[in-house]
Every structure is written in C-alpha cells, then in structure tokens.
A = this chain, B = another copy of it.
Amino acid sequence: MASRGDATRDRLLDATIQLVRDVGYAQTTTRAIAQAAGVAEGTLYRHYPDKAGLFAAAVGRQSAPVTAWARDLPARAGAGTVAGNLTDCLTRLATLRTDIVPFELAMLTDPDLGRAAAAARTAEPGPPEFLTQYLQAEQHLGRIRADLDPAKIAVVLLATLFGLAVPSQRTTDALGGSWPDITDAVHILIDGIGTPARPDDTARPAADHR
C-alpha cells in the first residue's frame, strides 16, 4: 500500500536519477529535482535529511535490482561457458549500472557526497562478492586458471567494465572508433592477448611474461 509519501519519494528518486543521467551531477540542483518531480523545493527535506541523503537513496534504489540479480551468479558456475556467463553478467551489470556511473563519478568528485553514500550503504554482499564467488567456483571446476586470485580477477573485470563505461575523454577522441563492446573485452580477458604457447614449448612459465 503506497502512501502519498511513498509516491513523493519515488518521484524524487526518479527525478534525481533522470537529471543526473541527462544533465550531469553539477547541474542537478535541488530546485531542478523538485521541479522535475513536480513537488515544492521544501518537500525534498521532508523525505530526506539533505541532498546527499537523497543521492544516497537514489544510489541504493538503483543498486538493489543489480544486487538481487547478482545473487544467482555463483550458482551458474559450470553451466554454459565461462565466456558466455561473464559476457552475460557484465552486459547486465553494464546495463543496470548505466544510471549509477554518474553517481559514482560525483562521489569521486565530491568527497562529502561519497561519505554520505558510504554511511548509507549496508554491509551486505553485492556484485563484487558474488562475482568473486562465481569465479572461485569456476576455478574449482578447472575452467579458470588456478594460479589467479578470484578476487583480483573480479576487480580487474569490474575495473575494465567501469573503465569502458567511463572513458577518459582523451581516449575516446583518439580511439573512439574502435571502442570494444563487452563481448570483445571478455574475449580478451578470457583468452589473453598473448599468443598461446605452442605444444612443443617445453616450458611456458609465467615468468616469461614478467
């Protein structure tokens, strides 16, 4: 049973997310939010302690479905192919996180906002943990190299995903025409960019690459 207050809260969160996505964090003022939500400026403070609190709630609401979906990830180990699973996973994360990235950038730009969001965050496991668990499971099944730390792989995967979602302007200008999609990135990460060791290689120690 959604009360009037709940509806107002939803409208405020919708407006916030839309504005941050469309005009950027710098232009997302409380006045703009209230106007987009169709409420008075003061109303915002009836539902959230301050602007940072509203933003934290927006991030939270956006994160919830992503986290819910990621919960099933470990159970998929062994099914299909690793590449398929990761492509699926990262594609979904990318899609769902599109609206979150501007918030993450804003938090990095404005430490105060970051602190507020961190305070609002629960300690529950999220995509990073679930992805790590999935990779660990695949490692036990022999489908991921045994000499790698699953957590580190997860960080590299998520970092690459983030880096592709938030490209430095300079790189976009230079190489925007060859921008890889997630399938490309997963392919590179799964198989590596190095030429595979040939069967007659007597030894192909990791040290070769260091």
| Residue positions of A touching B, CB distance < 8 A | 23-27, 63, 81-84, 87, 102, 104-112, 114, 117-118, 121, 125-129, 132, 135, 142-146, 148-149, 151-156, 158-164, 166-171, 173-175, 177-180, 183-197, 199, 204, 206, 208-210
A160: chain B residues within 8 A (beta carbon): 156, 159-160, 163
With a 10 A CB-CB cut-off, give which of A121, A151, A159, A179 has the most chain B CB atoms: A159
A170: chain B residues within 8 A (beta carbon): 63, 104, 121, 126-128
Is the Cβ of B81 less than 8 Å from the Cβ of A208? yes
With a 10 A CB-CB cut-off, give which of A132, A148, A160 has the most chain B CB atoms: A160
Is the Cβ of B192 less than 8 Å from the Cβ of A210? no
Is the Cβ of A128 less than 8 Å from the Cβ of B194? no
Measured CB to CB, the nearest residue on chain B to A100 is: B168
15 sampled A-B residue pairs with Cβ under 8 A: A24-B108, A24-B110, A25-B110, A26-B109, A26-B111, A105-B109, A135-B193, A144-B193, A144-B194, A156-B164, A158-B163, A159-B160, A183-B210, A187-B210, A191-B209
Bound CA span A194–B153, Å: 11
A23-B111, A193-B189 given as contacts; is B159 within 8 A of A175 (CB)?
no
